Each structure stands twice: as C-alpha cells, then as structure tokens.
C-alpha cells in the first residue's frame, strides 16, 4: 500500500510509529540528545514542583521541550549533511553550525524562561 493512499487512523498510527522510531534513533545515535533527556529527568519534575500555576508549569516544562525539539531538528540536519558527504565543505559546516546555534539559543530561551518565572516571585 502506497503511503499517499493511507488515510484515517492507519495514517495516524503510522505517523506515531515513525515518530517513535525517530526518537529511538536520535537517542541511540546522538549523545547530546541523551544528555538533554537525562537533564530533563531533573528539569521536568523540578518545573512541575516549582511552578505555582498551570501557566508557570507549562512555561518551565515547555521551555525544556523546546530544547529537545530543536535538538531533534539539529540531529536531522546533521544526518542529512553527513548523508551527502563526509568531506569538509563550507556550506555543510555552515548548516551544522547554524543548527547547533539553534540548539544553543533554545537552551538560552529555556534559561531565560526559568529565570523570569522564578525571579518574578521576588520582583514586584
């Protein structure tokens, strides 16, 4: 059965299966993703505990999920560049550096959210 002809719940089930495979592959092959998952084992419960409202909890936990999402995209970009060729090329290096910068900015965003949410309790 061609993928384009799959509809409804079957398509949803396939999408879920492919997504889980992607998470497993990233966890298996990307050390940074494993480290961020490990940090999430601390960050997520801490965010749920420190958040005083549903909005605060969503911001604290959600900002960490953004880091994981951007890391997944970074890993995909790196895999595509490596698939094209392992030789050094200016555009390949640029693509990898830009994707890495996106991860860095997502981590800064997460830190800023945590700082603003938690500091907001002590600032008027």
CA–CA gap between residue 104 and residue 107 (Å, rounded): 5
Q: Of 111, 6, 4, 120, give the one whose Cα is nearest residue 67.
A: 111
Which residue reads 């940074």 in tokens? 32
71 catalytic? Reply is: yes
Catalytic residue among 30, 36, 56, 71: 71
Which residue reads 């800023």 in tokens? 112
Catalytic residues: 71
């Amino acid at each position: 059965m061609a993928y384009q002809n799959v509809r409804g719940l079957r398509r949803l089930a396939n999408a879920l299966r492919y997504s889980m495979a992607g998470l497993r592959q990233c966890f298996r092959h990307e050390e940074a993703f494993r480290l961020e998952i490990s940090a999430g084992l601390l960050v997520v419960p801490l965010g749920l505990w420190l958040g005083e409202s549903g909005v605060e909890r969503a911001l604290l936990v959600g900002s960490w999920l953004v880091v994981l999402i951007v890391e997944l995209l970074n890993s995909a970009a790196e895999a595509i560049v490596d698939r094209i060729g392992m030789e050094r090329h200016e555009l390949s290096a640029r693509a990898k550096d830009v994707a890495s910068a996106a991860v860095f900015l997502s981590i800064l965003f997460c830190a800023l959210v945590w700082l603003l949410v938690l500091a907001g309790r002590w600032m008027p």
